[in-house]
Amino acid sequence: MTRVLMCLGVAALLAACGADGEPVRPSLNAGLGISGSGVHVGGAIGVRKGPVSVSVGL
């Protein structure tokens, strides 16, 4: 599992720096919610290139 995550990280780094073509711009979303049950923090990290968008929520 660690090997797969490392390979995905290297691929994302190469795509973000433009070594394999035009660079893609990463995005970061963060949120804070307050409710009767407490404070909730959330966020997402993603990349978008053309019509394709990939993101991971935290």
**Count of domains forming the chain:** 1
Find the angle CA(49)-CA(55)-CA(58) to the nearest 5 degrees.
155
Q: Establish if 19 belongs to a structural domain.
A: no
> Residue 1 — pLDDT band, cuts 50, 70, 90?
low
Q: Establish if 39 belongs to a structural domain.
A: yes
Domain assignment of residue 39, given as a range: 24-58
Give me the phi and psi of 36, to 5 degrees please. Answer: -65, -25
Q: Establish if 49 belongs to a structural domain.
A: yes
- pLDDT for the residue numbered 21: 63
**6-57 tens-digit pLDDT:** 777 777 776 666 555 666 777 888 888 898 888 988 888 888 777 777 778 8
Q: Establish if 54 belongs to a structural domain.
A: yes
Biggest CA–CA distance in the chain, Å, is 48
Ordered DSSP codes for the chain: -HHHHHHHHHHHHHHHHTTTSS--EEEEEEEEEEETTEEEEEEEEEEEETTEEEEEE-
Q: Establish if 56 belongs to a structural domain.
A: yes
